[in-house]
Amino acid sequence: NPVSDMENNVRGTLNMLESARRNGVGRFIFASSGAPVGEVEPPIHEELAARPVSPYGASKMAGEGYCSAYYRSFGIETVSLRFGNVYGPGSSRKFSVVAKFIKQAMKGEPCEIYGDGKQTRDFIFVEDLLGAILNSAGLRNEPDAWGEVFQIASNREHAINELAIILGEELKKRGVRLETKYGPFRVGDVKRNYSDTSKAARLLGWSAEVSLEEGIARTVAWFCEGCGHE
């Protein structure tokens, strides 16, 4: 639904920025995505030209553009963070692949992998993501960061098939079986995705610390111990 996507991600972001300008808010952290870059040879970095392959990516690209403009036109210290594939405790309402697969497995439903499962993603644990947000909010005297875009991910590439195996092993320890099935590729789904996070390390003083194996273990534990039912 590209029109609804635009209303939420473009008009919504602009409304927030304009409210910040009118109310004297000095710092604005924008939750972006790797989607604006589109289909490129990874690792994704901030100097790549944005060529989104999905309406969602186009909407996030527009948000980044408005953040840049509001810093350069009005002096609001904007920071655009391109989140990787976020997962972790507290994600019972998310429909991204980690949370979805765990919930489906717990219900005894098969987990559908789009295409051949060889497509890769850069998964970032929620606590690492929060660290990037807090670092951005707490920056002092870092003019090189204002109006800029940052890749916020683990700087590691994992295939969906690999993710399913790690999830399956953790769920098995708790008596839950993960069954997979394969469906057609989704239009606009990039084949490879992982990020170079060196700019965030240099200007935000941030890098990811939690491995996929550790993060999945902690996420599965949260769901299986009953915390996934809020």
What are the residue numbers of the active site?
Answer: 56
- Token duo for residue 145: 């960061």
Q: Decide: 166 and 212 in contact? Cβ < 8 Å.
A: yes
Task: Provide the phi-psi class of 75: left if phi over 0, else alpha when psi is between -120 and 50, else beta.
Answer: left
Task: Provide the phi-psi class of 207: left if phi over 0, else alpha when psi is between -120 and 50, else beta.
Answer: beta
Q: Which CB contacts under 8 angstroms, 24+ apart, belong to 52-59? A: 53/188, 53/190, 54/188, 55/2, 55/5, 55/6, 56/5, 56/9, 57/33, 58/2, 59/5, 59/6, 59/8, 59/9, 59/10
Beta strands 120-121 and 158-159 are antiparallel
- State the virtual CA torsion across 52, 42, 121, 123 in degrees, nearest 10: -110
Q: Decide: 76 and 70 in contact? Cβ < 8 Å.
A: yes
What are the Cα distances from residue 204, in Å, to 144, 152, 156, 176, 199? 10, 10, 19, 40, 8
Residue 60's closest CA among 149, 147, 127? 149
